[in-house]
Amino acid sequence: MTIQVSIINEGSSTSETINNLPEKEFIVNNYASKSEFIANAANIKPGVIIINTSTPFQGTISEFVRIRNFSHAPILVLSNIIKPGIVEKVLDSGADEYLLKPVSLPLLKSRLRALARRSHPVDYLSNVPRQT
């Protein structure tokens, strides 16, 4: 199963790890901001959304609500921010996963597959080989 991934780079360039996602498993679309993603939302149907950020979260709840108005895809936040309570705030505001940078490629791929599997179980199961 190929997973469509939309990456929103907020105050952070696309990391080398993200650039190394294998093309046979992931189709990656990059956006410079949440606004650019939302402007293109009608044309895309991501399986997972990554918010790649190095800036503090301001108005986090409203940001996730804006994205949810256009897409119900799971949101993975990839950040280097280590402040007390930030992970809880981001998850309680609407993100489905929070990973601290730098993140290994195997872990990122595994989390993306898990998020896609939970959000599209029928699609995922139709690609799993059956045991006889």
Domain extent listing, the chain: 3-125
pLDDT in tens, 5-47: 999 988 766 677 788 888 899 999 999 888 898 888 778 889 9
Tokens of 51: 């918010």
Q: How far apart are the first and last CA of the chain?
A: 21
CATH of 3-125, one of 2.170.130.10, 3.40.50.2300, 3.40.50.300, 1.10.1370.30: 3.40.50.2300
- How confident is the model over 86-97, as a mean pLDDT? 89
Q: What are phi and psi of 37, to 5 degrees?
A: -60, -50
Q: What are phi and psi of 56, to 5 degrees?
A: -60, 150
Residue 132's pLDDT is what? 47
Q: Is 10 left (phi over 0), alpha (psi -120 to 50) or beta?
A: beta
pLDDT in tens, 46-91: 999 999 988 766 656 677 788 888 888 999 999 988 888 888 988 8
Q: What are phi and psi of 4, to 5 degrees?
A: -80, 120
